[in-house]
Structure 1
Amino acid sequence: MDDLFPRAANSSPLTPLGFLDRAAVVYGDCLSLVYGDTTYTWLETRDRCLKLASSISRLGLGRGDVVSVIAPNIPAMYELHFAIPMAGAILNTINTRLDARTISVILRHSESKLVFVDYESSSVVSDAVSMFPTSTKAPLLVFIADLGSEDSPALSAIDFHFSYEKMVQNGDVDFKWIRPKSEWDPLTLNYTSGTTSAPKGVVHSHRGTFIVTLDSLVGWSVPKQPVYLWTLPMFHANGWSYTWGMTSVGGTNICLRKFDARTIYSAINRHGVTHMCGSPVVLNMLSSYPEAKALNSPVQLLTGGAPPPAAVLLKAESMGFLVTHGYGLTETGGVTVSCAWKLKWNHLPATEMARLKARQGVKTVGMTEVDVIDPESGVSVKRDGTSLGEIVLRGGCLMLGYLKDPEATAKCMREDGWFYTGDVGVMYPDGYLEIKDRSKDVIISGGENISSVEVESILYTHPLINESAVVARPDEYWGETPCAFVSLHEDSKRRELKDKDIIEFCRSKLAHYMVPKTVVFMEELPKTSTGKIQKFVLRERAKKMGSTNTRSRM
């Protein structure tokens, strides 16, 4: 077999962009995008993306150039996931809730040449560009008007260079989109959640994105032509790859500019939604909505991030949401560990089923290997469900690295062949893993490691608590003790609930050293735009509260 080797015919670069051509043929007359009263078919979407790609190319942009987008979950945001890389450029989606300073830093760090800006973000982007040094060339700006509105006044007022719809209208539908020279060519640039002063730029290749996209579809058992509701921000890890994934299966994308529980339930009933993604915060919002009724048809809901409390899972599933719990990071491009459900578990009590679903699970079929190891020795931890270690990954969907930051890249992608996630977890005897914390969120009290997630899961079982987050507070004797920040359900805010009531509740369910020594009531916990509770904000607040001196373990 020595005469057999890769040839041009069997070595064309893997890229998710080709999904759109196929969708236009197979699902051409089927709905692709729905936004209010505006609808497009897959043939129309393919043509619009080609026209837009040709207009971007005419501006002289192509391979290696970064093109940014600041927009919510609207059709333009979806189209740009194809149009920008089809012009050969690198797609950079930016968090819509960032302030002008951070956006300015990202635009300069990425050296973005062109920025597509939704009308609601026009002012903050204008401020961001005004912060550029005079020696730095500012990017060209494209104005995205709300569909059906007149955009000319805003164009002249804020000095945008182009209009989105005019770029589509003036484009060439016969444009031959630019395929990557190598599947390792960069496709996307995503900055981490913006919870720190210096978010890192995560670069993904065409190859890695192709792999994670198909992997995510298989792992979630997504059928042909689902109806997908966009409650997960597309700017967040490119919607966990489902921007491209829905194209490959000819799904209908229901776009929402803004949403709350009422809006979500209305969209589900109106459009016959079958699938949606969201953080545990979204899951909690849906399950605690006072006017919620049981769904007419089941809705598959993929959640990720912090482990959803068992109590929240139980409530959501009782209403008709079929919850799948996954795990991934911006650096993985999508879900890479999923709670692969076993049919025999369907016969277990509801509380036990919820406990199993709270685990992240096992590696998806496209991942090479996942483990929980002792970061010092590199040895796998005991599979006993209690021994803590760092979650490590290896597989084709992992990022190329951090833009202009070789030191940070080398720190997490080490010579031993693992990607170190910074997440602390345990491995169970059956081979399933569960996240216990971020390494920086583990509370070390008197030499004991306390999982903040484990304490939070108990707090969520309290009938009056809506949200909870537990962080370390300095303690003169123990070093650190748990400090709980909680918000209450709307209808319970007037009740006489005291911190001692919460502490006593936890004492009945936790080892005493794990019980919060401080409880802080808040109207709402601080969150990122992707729904993650900003623990770094709460950690700073706990530090400013000063040290306690709790010699007793209560």
Structure 2
Amino acid sequence: MRRALAAVAALRRCGPQRRYAHAKCQANNARLSPVPYLQRAAMLNPDKTAVKYGDDISLTYSELMTETRQLASAVSRAGVLPGQVVSVLVPNVPVAITCHFAIPGMGATLHMINTRLDARAVAFQLEHAESKLLIVDCELAGIAKDALEMIEDESKRPHLIQAEDPMHAEWSATDGEELRDFMRTGDPNFELPGAEHEDDAIALSYTSGTTGNPKGVLTHHRGAALNSMSVSITWPLVGGDVKYLWTLPMFHCNGWCLPWAITAVVMNLLLGATEEEKAPVTERMPPRVIQMMTGGAAPPPSVMRELEQELGIRPLSAYGLTEVYGPCTSNLWDDSWDDLEEDERGARLPWQAPSLVHEMYVAEKGGFDAVPADGVTLGEVLLRGNAVMKGYLNNEEATKEAFDQGQWFRTGDMAVQHPGGRVEIKDREKDIIISGGENISSIEVETALHQHEGVLHVAVVALPDPFWGETPVAVIEAKPGAKVSGEDIISHARSILAKFKCPKCPIKDVIFRELPKTATGKIQKHVLRAELLAERTAKTKSNVPQ
């Protein structure tokens, strides 16, 4: 009797869904990865154009699959082991698409390098990643060679393979193995083994370094597969005869997972417009609302309104980080907003809704308690979900700090929570200005200043002040030919913002100069802040009587 009662109790503890459950097996559990998306497309639509490069170069899905198998086999025969890194330094050319399937397809980790980096930055990434192969476009071979020479230990230099661009015959391989010869060593019928586990690394991407040294972000097959599906639904992507004109660099968060997402829905990918696609849009399609997704820092509302009113483009801003495969939110338009006044409608453009594979909320700084959904209280954006990175390569301390107690990923971005689950990004935590005990969002001030007709680019940073603690300093790139003074800027700011949020001195706190930017065009506020602080310190010392 006791045994029977114990058995019943144990059964109850298991819960109803566990009573009849069976163990995982091949029949009910498969590894998630975006690599099979290409295999499916090649099987169902072998003769459909997958990639078109200019007017004369195209690959069908069948041909892309064959090239993928051959490159994957060649990489494997070159001695690259599963989990090791293969680096790729190429612009948006067909081989970039092939690499997105071939390298993860044989179990290695794909490292797409920003083509705008200098040799020193490339060398840092190659050495930190311990890359085994470096595939480089001939146009960028000079940077690659300089980068390799900067790696002092020759045994740590990856093997160089140069890829010729068929549209630019003037660039040819001058050193290292040629990609076509390298691929001939591969088997075009090679079966892609893929990753052993779905949480194995699929890609290595480096942060842009806008707040410090870049970190190597490892993402996994499961996240890439699910995020690709999420992207194709949210934006949305459709198959059929639809063509996708590619503008996003594939080195940027693996093109936001679009190389995999577009293949999943079997679209025609255009790398550079052909003569047909260069025709005016009005000649090729009936009038309709065009949606455009923007990433990075959200465009000022004034710019977004101009796009909609003058060009008929409805901009959707997206927020994201390298650590979450690129965009993890989007400004999904609510049809009820169409009835709002223009200013109210514009104010909702930065409101962000989480993707299908991310959870998100705004928490009190340093804690986990949610801030009120009042659109005012500032907190930190926390994220979790299947499309969050594995961690930072060779940086356990930074990984632990980012995954606070293993519960949520701390973004370091400050935001407010709006009703209905939407958040509005206000600033990086490091860029919040505390002046006289008040928090000032540098983004809010930048948005206001950007509305001035003479401002092209603007960045607002905090500098120490003996009375206020910190004060906002605006650094401005004026539009060509524009005549703008510090007094104009402060007067304009005070017409929009509370006085305490505005720069105070037209000479000291409004500066006209070129802004430091990363290779992707992002303003480097940490560099700017350091430059201004050094200049101000030097000026103070020079004024001290000797």
The residue aligned with 2:132 is 113
The residue aligned with 1:515 is 502
Match of residue 93, structure 1, among 112, 136, 151 = 112
Letter in 2 for 1:364: S
Deviation at 1:253, TM superposition (A): 2.0
Deviation at 1:521, TM superposition (A): 2.1
The residue aligned with 1:11 is 29
8 Å CA contact 1:16, 1:206 repeated in 2:
yes
Q: Secondary structure at the match of 1:228?
A: strand
The residue aligned with 1:180 is 195
Q: 1:33 to 1:527 in 2, by over 3 A?
A: farther
Is residue 23 from structure 1 mapped to residue 41 from structure 2 by the alignment? Answer: yes
Q: Within 5 Å, which residues of 2 pair with 1:107-146?
A: 107-134=126-153, 136-146=155-165
User: How many angstroms apart in 2 are the aligned matches of 1:204 and 1:119?
Assistant: 28
The residue aligned with 2:15 is none
8 Å CA contact 1:310, 1:351 repeated in 2:
no
Is residue 352 from structure 1 mapped to residue 344 from structure 2 by the alignment? Answer: yes
Deviation at 1:185, TM superposition (A): 1.2
8 Å CA contact 1:190, 1:201 repeated in 2:
yes
Letter in 1 for 2:40: R
Deviates more, 1:476-485 or 1:191-200: 191-200
Cα deviation code 1:134-159 (max 9, x no counterpart): 363321111012214558x953x4x3
The residue aligned with 1:279 is none
User: How many angstroms apart in 1 are the aligned matches of 2:212 and 2:316?
Assistant: 32
Deviation at 1:177, TM superposition (A): 0.8
Deviation at 1:500, TM superposition (A): 0.6
The residue aligned with 2:291 is 300
Q: 1:252 to 1:272 in 2, by over 3 A?
A: farther
Q: Within 5 Å, which residues of 2 pair with 1:450-529?
A: 450-490=440-480, 493=481, 495-517=482-504, 518-522=509-513, 524-529=514-519
8 Å CA contact 1:51, 1:167 repeated in 2:
no
Q: Within 5 Å, which residues of 2 pair with 1:349-498?
A: 349-359=341-351, 361-367=352-358, 369-415=359-405, 417-490=407-480, 493=481, 495-498=482-485
The residue aligned with 1:281 is none
> Runs of 4+ in structure 1 displaced over 6 angstroms?
none
8 Å CA contact 1:227, 1:271 repeated in 2:
no
Q: 1:460 to 1:325 in 2, by over 3 A?
A: same
Deviation at 1:485, TM superposition (A): 1.7
User: How many angstroms apart in 2 are the aligned matches of 1:147 and 1:63?
Assistant: 31
Deviation at 1:472, TM superposition (A): 1.2
Match of residue 256, structure 2, among 240, 244, 260 = 240
Q: Secondary structure at the match of 2:233?
A: helix
Letter in 1 for 2:496: K
Cα deviation code 1:501-550 (max 9, x no counterpart): 1110111110001112322223x53322333222122212321342799x
User: How many angstroms apart in 2 are the aligned matches of 1:460 and 1:134?
Assistant: 48
Q: Within 5 Å, which residues of 2 pair with 1:279-318?
A: 298-318=289-309
- Could you tell me which runs of 5 or more consecutive residues in structure 1 were left unpaired when the two chains were aligned: 257-262, 274-293, 550-554
- Could you tell me which runs of 5 or more consecutive residues in structure 2 were left unpaired when the two chains were aligned: 1-18, 541-546
Cα deviation code 1:123-142 (max 9, x no counterpart): 11111111222363321111
8 Å CA contact 1:212, 1:334 repeated in 2:
no
Q: 1:93 to 1:295 in 2, by over 3 A?
A: farther
Is residue 208 from structure 1 mapped to residue 223 from structure 2 by the alignment? Answer: yes
Larger radius of gyration: 2
Q: 1:349 to 1:165 in 2, by over 3 A?
A: farther
Cα deviation code 1:397-438 (max 9, x no counterpart): 111111111110000102150100000010013331011000
Q: Within 5 Å, which residues of 2 pair with 1:41-52?
A: 41-52=60-71
User: How many angstroms apart in 1 are the aligned matches of 2:355 and 2:133?
Assistant: 36
TM-score of the superposed pair, with normalisation by structure 1: 0.87
Q: 1:45 to 1:416 in 2, by over 3 A?
A: closer
User: How many angstroms apart in 2 are the aligned matches of 1:344 and 1:269?
Assistant: 36
8 Å CA contact 1:484, 1:520 repeated in 2:
yes
Q: 1:270 to 1:253 in 2, by over 3 A?
A: farther
Deviation at 1:354, TM superposition (A): 2.4
User: How many angstroms apart in 2 are the aligned matches of 1:476 and 1:150?
Assistant: 61
Deviates more, 1:29-38 or 1:388-397: 29-38
Q: 1:484 to 1:404 in 2, by over 3 A?
A: same
User: How many angstroms apart in 2 are the aligned matches of 1:315 and 1:85?
Assistant: 42
Deviation at 1:107, TM superposition (A): 0.9
Percent identity, aligned pairs only, is 39
TM-score of the superposed pair, with normalisation by structure 2: 0.88
Backbone CA RMSD of aligned residues:
2.5
Deviation at 1:483, TM superposition (A): 1.1
Paired residues, number: 512
Is residue 165 from structure 1 mapped to residue 184 from structure 2 by the alignment? Answer: no
Q: 1:197 to 1:436 in 2, by over 3 A?
A: closer
